[in-house]
Structure 1
């Protein structure tokens, strides 16, 4: 009989799992709280669309380089650095809210940087798990990663709405705190046994992931 909690027998994965949940949860809290405050102050729903767009476009525009950076620089370093940048962005939103400077343009500017950080965080985070558990525990670890994301996607917006109802700055401060803890958890992970690529970056290496996914239909599916 398989062990449903097999991946959590490895302390590094447990810390990684908590960190990843905090990041997904905090992102949802921020998006909901910012959207609530933007709409409350402008009464213009178009800004709600911009909030999502400026976070999505960086991931789309940087898709050919983010994975390559994680492989060359180091997944743990890229993941922790991205989380610290996201934490700084949450702090900037908190500052804007507390100082009465919360307005669409500065908020969207900060969220663009937040989106860039998330673009680098994603590939590094997804690939790091392979360094934290043995091969036989990998499917279990991936399954829990998916469950973590689904839970954060449900609980995050609920918490974001409740916290924003208390006070938007309280929601931003909560997200900033969780991102800080998450980044520190990643920094406590042992340096993974990862071979850093030193070959020159070419268009072929940048597009290698697309080529692999297209050839391996099971991955594409």
Structure 2
């Protein structure tokens, strides 16, 4: 009975839903941007035959292994109010990028991109090049080969990459906290809300937010495993 009343109280609290709503909005936007950026980059890297390709690949994968605080610091240096890019953005949009909703999106894009890129790149490499060459020999240009041959053959990797990137973006904490802050109803996502709730002793909210993010992550990972099982069958 006590648990039921507590649940009702938490669910009726607007402060409970704001971070969930912000997290979903930020994650959906970031995952879509990351997906198309990774799709384009993976295709270009597959077609590129240049020296130093390994260095470029390593650079693109760096956010996957760097501490989130380092990623957040890098974003502050590149897009902060004292940087050239930051000043240009502020001049165009009449406001700085730091501590805005778009800053949270950018942080999520940067940390989720490597995971999506790696998965899509692996999928492209698994496609039989003879099939692509056959399509070219029949008059197909590179765009047509990519759309009608490569993507249909690698679609499971593309879908898996997107879902993994989505899961990574929704759990992003360190870079978001440094670059976007923790502004309620604006940049406060689930991970930052959990951190602040624990720090302020609001454990009931923290528990329910933790359960929410575990639920989202479980569903996404279960979906990925289901796709992999179908691929191996």
**Structure-1-length-normalised TM-score:** 0.34
**Structure-2-length-normalised TM-score:** 0.33
Bigger-Rg structure (1/2): 2
